[in-house]
């Protein structure tokens, strides 16, 4: 249901051609176009003022491409997470300007590049191996209209490198911190700044890291009070929440 259809409906209501109840009913039912395997909710973008998001995990390349194609009829900006080269190729058939980010598997169609927030989001990561998650956070935050300052490889075992970036950290309005292993970086960053810190545990590590559990527990128990946490490897979630805060 595009804007023109919406205006038409409202005029019919004003004119009495359609009753209020019928109008409500149509509004309620129209936005769901049934693709057989997934209901697409175009209202979601309006409701949350955001680009369309397609979670790639557990969907076939064909399902993803079909959903993306449908969304592109209405949406300017689309973000697909956890996809791959093959999906990117399929998407580029309908959107040749789609970017593909191989480290994180993200695909982005980014046509409306308006900045929607005054502040800056710093996306910090502890080590080289955490970059894929940080990239997902950055790609997300950018497509949601934010300026992003990426600060990589500043883990707590070399605390002076973190200290050297203190200025950039204090200039951010909200910070996303991605770290695996012991997950200590959000606590250290959180103690240096006064803004909200979104901690993203990564599954980087081995042995008793238990695929990110150690980092997750560490972040949940942070002694810095300005830290809240999203799921393991959920760079998207980190970038999404940070964007909402930056707009707030």
Looking at residues 130 to 149 of the shown chain, list those that interact with its own copies (rule: CB under 8 A): 131
Looking at the DSSP bridge assignments, the partners of residue 227 are 197
The count of C-alpha atoms lying within 13 angstroms of the C-alpha of 222, restricted to the half-sphere facing its C-beta, is 25
Identify the sign of the CA torsion 183, 185, 188, 191: negative
Q: Enumerate residues 160-189 that contact its own copies by CB under 8 A.
A: 160-161, 163-164, 173-174, 180-184, 187-188
- Supply φ then ψ for residue 66, to 5 degrees: -65, -45
Sign of CA dihedral 110, 112, 114, 115: negative
* Residue 191 contacts its own copies per CB under 8 A: yes
- As given in the structure block, the two tokens for residue 77 are 């900006």
User: Of the two residues 24 and 89, which places its CB atom closer to its own copies in the complex?
Assistant: 24
Q: What gap in Å lies between CA 222 and CA 208, rounded to an integer?
A: 19
The C-alpha atoms of residue 153 and residue 120 are separated, in whole angstroms, by 19
The reply to whether 152 sits near its own copies by the rule CB under 8 A is yes
Q: Does the footprint of its own copies cover residue 195 (CB under 8 A)?
A: yes
Binding of its own copies at residue 244 (CB under 8 A)? yes
Closer residue to its own copies in complex, CB, 4/126? 126
- How near is the Cβ of 195 to its own copies at its closest, in Å? 6
Nearer to its own copies, 95 or 217 (CB): 217
Helix (H) or strand (E) holding 80: strand 77-81
- SS3 call for 41: strand
Would you count residue 215 as binding its own copies (CB under 8 A)? yes
Stretch that binds its own copies, among 9-17, 87-95, 108-116, 190-198 (CB under 8 A): 190-198
- Compute the least distance from the CB of residue 96 to its own copies, in Å: 26
> What is the x/- site pattern for its own copies, positions 75-114, by CB under 8 A?
----------------------------------------
Q: What value does the CA radius of gyration of the chain take, rounded to a whole number of Å?
A: 21
- 28 CB-near residues (< 8 Å, 6+ apart): none
Give whichever of 4 and 103 is closer to its own copies, judged by the CB atom.
Answer: 103
Q: Least separation, in Å, of the C-beta of 193 and its own copies?
A: 8
| Nearest residue (CB) to its own copies, 96 versus 177 | 177
Q: Largest Cα–Cα distance of the chain, in whole Å?
A: 70
Return left, alpha or beta for 170; rule: phi > 0 is left, psi -120 to 50 is alpha, else beta.
Answer: alpha
Q: Which is nearer to its own copies, 97 or 207 (CB)?
A: 207
Choice from 13, 30, 63, 168 touching its own copies (CB under 8 A): 63
């Amino acid at each position: 249901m595009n804007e023109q259809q919406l205006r038409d409906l409202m005029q019919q209501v004003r004119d009495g051609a359609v009753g209020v109840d019928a109008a409500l009913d149509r509004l309620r039912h129209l936005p769901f176009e049934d693709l057989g395997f997934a209901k697409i909710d175009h209202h979601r973008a309006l409701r949350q003022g955001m680009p369309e998001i397609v979670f790639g995990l557990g969907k076939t390349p064909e399902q993803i491409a079909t959903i993306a194609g449908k969304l592109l009829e209405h949406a300017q900006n689309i973000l697909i997470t956890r996809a791959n080269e093959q999906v990117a190729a399929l998407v580029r058939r309908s959107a040749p300007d789609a970017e593909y980010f191989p480290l994180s598997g993200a695909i982005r169609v980014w046509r409306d590049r308006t900045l929607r927030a005054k502040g800056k989001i710093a996306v910090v990561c502890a080590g080289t191996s955490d970059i894929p998650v940080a990239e997902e956070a950055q790609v997300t935050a950018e497509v949601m209209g934010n300026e992003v300052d990426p600060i990589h490889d500043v883990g707590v075992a070399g605390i002076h490198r973190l200290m050297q970036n203190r200025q950039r950290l204090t200039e951010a309005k909200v910070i996303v911190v991605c770290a695996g292993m012991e997950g200590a970086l959000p606590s250290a960053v959180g103690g240096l700044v006064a803004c909200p810190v979104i901690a993203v545990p990564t599954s980087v590590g081995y042995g008793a890291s238990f695929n990110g559990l150690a980092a997750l527990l560490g972040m949940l128990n942070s002694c810095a009070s300005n830290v809240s946490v999203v799921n393991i490897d959920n760079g998207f979630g980190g970038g999404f929440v940070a964007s909402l805060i930056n707009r707030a």
